[in-house]
Structure 1
């Protein structure tokens, strides 16, 4: 797809050392070399640590904290995103005597509330969440802000007037991101139609390929993917169809595959993991807090664009970014419209 912006309808707004037992899914554990003065951190990933997306971002944030603060890191990954399995993994980590347990993703909310109450002397953090308690805090990278900008970009660039959205499961941050993307499209192109799908699985490549193919067949020429290991299926569908482009999320996919990715709504949740460990190491982490990190912190939240995106589109998007940061644009985080079914 050649990125020539669609004529707009109306004016666009101006601009470690701990062994962790297996959970329901085959969990794997990483033990860092002992550093006697380091804080003890347990990281729970409801998916593989190398999923090319959300879980991997959290893992890299924890590894960065391990290096910078001498944290003794225990990682348990590949845990099924179901409350009993998540509770079991959290109990196992807390029971090993860690100082801080970080659970990556809002799918851990209910499990974290239960287990944090059972271990009142251990500090718990859930990323991409707003859950809190006496010893429980949330650290949230506002992925809805970069998702809104991705929607605004898609609205400016679509030639067909139809764009797509794809995700798997439905944690609150994912729902917010979908709503924000749709709102961004509507802001720059009120006449465009958005096909939005939650397939039920973040990591199934073949399912993602089928959904993407169906959206492309329905007219979408740009698809925003909020997937993890399943994301390559969308690229396969685009290449097979010989049309369309993709917007990624979490990290910068345009640097890896600019022929497929028109842009990437970066929301590096690894920054949330790192910030939580940093605050704990410096005595700043308190239960009951909800720490939010948005576009004002561009190393965490920003939109990147492929080199063939026209300069005037970049200028318009830069202006819209500033309006979000300044509070002039409120990013909508609810959606009540139709959904695109699995094929």
Structure 2
């Protein structure tokens, strides 16, 4: 692992839009803090398509130019391991990853924990008895989040119906609006979204049709308070920082590094001021049980999926 002067050259690779008001934007907050350090030289790679060939090419180029590469997102689980093997003298990390190796580490902010709490809240707030979930890419963090949300709903009231779907994009607002409108018209009055730039389409659907939304990653209660009743926070930026600091120290963890509700607000459910105090207390109590390991959150879902009518 070659050092250039006194600085380590680290590339941070993003799939899709960087300023996406979602997952990437949160991760970039960690990059911005790292840019202030005098022992790192950062290259930020953005706009990589969610295609195996494009991601592989971007990773290979980054490894040729840098000492270390951090891949942002679960999309890196499939493409990073073979590149890490091809560059044994480089360090690699996947944030929201589940892969490890001699020179490969993974850092996983357990957003499924806040997604479970989102499901609990949705179950208590729905008046129709139907709630919705909408995500984009079928990557591990999104699949875990969906399973956790559905489990949270069932934890509170198993009779409530959950409409769940993956619209295939994190950034296309026309697509997300179509899907969100379809779920709302099918009865969902509370919608949990795990999207990036495409969240604006879901916001428009909720605003037009009178549904409330639970966001994720960022605190959407502050950004769009008329639509959002809560937001399932997940400080991906902290995972980015941990990955870079381990690279500087020459540390390659031999197991996935997990961060959850027990780790100083890295994961939490932010509630709008209009959520009743008694309900907020109940959600906080459930969160404490998760942090203590008294509630186990499933990571798989094998139920039906919702599809909009063509």
Matched residue of 1:341: which SS?
Answer: coil
Is residue 246–residue 260 contact of structure 1 (8 Å, CA) maintained in 2? Answer: yes
- Cα 1:309–1:42 shift into 2, 3 Å: same
1:328 aligns to 2:297 (yes or no): no
1:297 pairs with one of 246, 263, 274:
263
Aligned equivalents of 1:125, 1:177: Cα separation in 2: 21
Q: Distance in 2 between matches of 1:266 and 1:287?
A: 25
Q: How does 1:40-79 map to 2 (within 5 A)?
A: 40-68=9-37, 70-79=39-48
More helix per residue: 1 or 2? Answer: 2
Corresponding residue for residue 259 of structure 1:
226
Partner SS, residue 254 of structure 1: helix
Structure 2 unaligned blocks of 5 or more? none
Cα displacement string for residues 21-66 of structure 1 (whole angstroms, at most 9, x for unaligned residues): xxxxxxxxxxxxxx95332110110111101111112222122122
Q: If the length of structure 1 is used for normalisation, what is the TM-score?
A: 0.87
Q: Which of 86, 93, 107 is 1:118 aligned to?
A: 86
**Which runs of 5 or more residues in structure 1 are unaligned?**
1-34
* Contact 2:77–2:94 (CA under 8 A) maintained in structure 1: yes
Query: Which deviates the most, 161-170 or 57-66?
Result: 57-66
For 2:99, the equivalent position in structure 1 comes to 131
Equivalent residue in structure 2 for 1:92, among 40, 61, 64: 61
Give me the TM-score of the superposition, normalised by structure 2: 0.96
Alpha-carbon spacing, 1:333–1:69, altered in 2? closer, same or farther (3 Å): farther
Is 1:219 matched up with 2:187? Answer: yes
Does the residue aligned with 2:131 lie in a helix, a strand or coil?
strand
SS of the residue corresponding to residue 120 of structure 1 reads coil
Secondary structure of 2:80's counterpart equals helix
Distance apart, 1:135 and its partner CA = 0.5
Please point out which of 206, 212, 218 is paired with 2:174: 206
For the aligned residue pairs, the C-alpha RMSD in angstroms reads 1.3
**What does residue 3 of structure 1 align with?**
none
Distance 1:43 1:108 in 2: 12
* Structure 2 Cα separation of the partners of residues 296 and 275 of structure 1: 16
Matching of residues 17-32 of structure 1 within 5 Å: none
Segments ≥4 residues shifted beyond 4 Å: none
Q: Does 1:170 align with 2:141?
A: no
